[in-house]
Amino acid sequence: MDRTGSTPGAPPGELSVATAQAVITRIREQVEHVIVGKREVIERVLVALLAEGHVLLDDVPGTGKTTLARTLALTLGGSFQRIQFTPDLLPSDVTGSLVFDQRSGSFVFHPGPVFANIVLADEINRAGPRTQAALLEAMEERQVSVERERHQLPRPFLVIATQNPVELEGTYPLPEAQLDRFFLSTSIGYPEREDERAILRRFQQHDPIADLGAVTSPLELAALITRTRTVFFGDAVADYLLDIIQATRAHDELELGASPRAALALMRAAQANALLAGRDFVIPDDVRTLAQSVLAHRLIPAARAELRGRTAQGILSEIVAGIAIPVEDVPALVGAGATDG
């Protein structure tokens, strides 16, 4: 590795694995100053960030969803917007609209809150389908179209959408086609007793978010995202991933299996997870670890399976457990140029 942090023999400007892991560690450690005892959740969100995906948090109120999003935005040195989804929220309230400027005599585009690096879409299932679709289109295309004009969203761009799994009255459930557009789904959940004690002490006198400063920049993060795509993904791991995907489609207790978009998402997630672990190559465990978060929310159990109390998560666990894990020759990966020189 040279003084620029690039890997010898790599394209100019490409981050080394060691440099990438150092940046990721700084981000994770700073977020953990505020979000206590939830390293797995933090790492899931970082995986989505590095893979340029979006996160669906299916969680009850008060578990720290807004705090997580704000903390991440401050840590990254980026902008943050929170959108409270309500039944009367319009698509233009999310994406922006054209406003007539009397001085120029023309319409000028005023960006909506979606134009931020980190966007918290709070209780997304409380807005109508048109408003949901407007946000999901922006998530997929990373741009907003208003009156035939396209406006690019910033990079990095991460949407953290939340749903309350308990209070469903007056909500509009996301259809399967829209759920499939979320890169991964997870939940923060309640903290352990000792972690909650630490939260009480940490927040007793002041809000620790006030002490946060940026430990990276959107430009450096863009380089991290680019580096994630170059993490080596071997044929044996690809076959293992495809075995899982194909098994969801053939399972008699699943009405809807994983889509090709889901397969791509699982590959990108595995690459990001490898980089988080300081590796320049994916191993089967990266795929297995993230299968639930990336795939479960995209699967639909058959009616007879639901009558027996079966869930997508349970069926997927059985599928993954039943597929043989390939024995990958790590030295061969190293020799293939998958690690730093």
Q: Give the contacts of 306 (CB within 8 A, at least 6 positions apart).
A: none
pTM of the model: 0.86
Q: Is the pLDDT of residue 60 over 90?
A: no
Section 83-106 average pLDDT: 89
Q: Is the pLDDT of residue 339 over 90?
A: no
Mean pLDDT in the chain? 88
Q: Is the pLDDT of residue 13 over 60?
A: no
CA dist 146 → 107, 114, 156, 244 (Å): 11, 13, 21, 40
User: Which string of b and e fits 83-110 if b means at least 16 CB within 10 Å?
Assistant: bebeeebebebbbbbeeeeeeeeeeeee
pLDDT at 36: 92
CA dist 25 → 7, 17, 32, 133, 160 (Å): 19, 12, 10, 35, 21
pLDDT at 225: 94
Q: Could you tell me the domains of the chain?
A: 1-230 (3.40.50.300), 232-341 (1.10.8.80)
Which of the residue ranges 92-96, 219-223, 240-244 has the most confident prediction, judged by mean pLDDT?
240-244
Section 213-234 average pLDDT: 92
User: Quick one: pLDDT band at residue 165, thresholds 50, 70, 90?
Assistant: confident
Tokens of 74: 């401050």
Q: How far apart are CA 240 and CA 18, in angstroms?
A: 27
Please check whether residue 338 is in contact with residue 216, taking contact to mean a CB–CB distance below 8 angstroms. no
Q: Is the pLDDT of residue 328 over 70?
A: no
Section 112-119 average pLDDT: 93
Section 110-128 average pLDDT: 92
Where are the extended beta strands (E) located within 183-273? 184-186, 254-256
Q: Is the pLDDT of residue 338 over 90?
A: no
Section 173-192 average pLDDT: 89
Section 82-109 average pLDDT: 88
CA dist 328 → 16, 189, 233, 234, 284 (Å): 23, 34, 11, 9, 8
Section 110-129 average pLDDT: 91
**One-letter amino acid of 219:** L
- Crossing angle, helix 65-76 and helix 17-31, to 10 degrees? 140
Q: Is the pLDDT of residue 184 over 60?
A: yes
Tokens of 171: 């909500």
pLDDT at 337: 47
pLDDT at 10: 43
